[in-house]
Amino acid sequence: MKLGAACCASATIAILALVAACRPAPDADANAAADAAPAESTEPTTVDSGVDIDASLSLDQLNGLENHTPPPEADALPPADAPLRFVGRWAADSGLCATAPWQFTAQSLSTPAGAHCRFRRVEKTPGGVDISALCTAEGPERRDRIRLRFAESAGAMLFESTTIADAGLVYCRP
């Protein structure tokens, strides 16, 4: 039995020697470059991104979201059943809500350009409102007929007037 074990050991050594002989010889230039390079630190490199990877891998991230209500869309319109749906702050785009809003009240309108209208009569129409008004915009006060239409799919209110330039407006959340 000892002869069989010695035979296996010799065979294993022979195979390892053959495998080592099949490897290509190391490149002398690569060894010289590696020897000339500064030694790298053996300390691990860490980057603090402020992200807790353990928390992000948690399997319980959806816990408590059964009754979650997503926030309203940024450009959502006021409810269609509101008595005066146009009342509030509006802007040409949501980025202008803080700096250049149009202000609609039940009795008037003020634009960021300085135009002003006083409402005389407000009439609900299919899809919006028609308003008889007196408006001032870069000149004396004039009679005007303002048409407001709500574009549900675009989340916008369309403004038409003879005194003030037509515009598409989005609702500015309070």
pTM of the model: 0.57
pLDDT at 123: 95
Q: What is the pLDDT of residue 17?
A: 44
d(CA 150, CA 148): 7
| Regions of the chain where pLDDT drops below 70 | 1-75
Q: Which residue, among 170, 23, 26, 24, has the nearest Cα to 96 in the 3D structure? A: 170
Q: What is the pLDDT of residue 48?
A: 55
Which residues are within 8 A (CB) of 90 and not within 5 positions of it... i.e. 6 or more apart?
101, 102, 104, 157, 169, 170, 171, 172
Parse the chain into domains and list their residue ranges.
92-168
Report the pLDDT value the prediction gives residue 81, as an integer from 0 to 100. Answer: 84
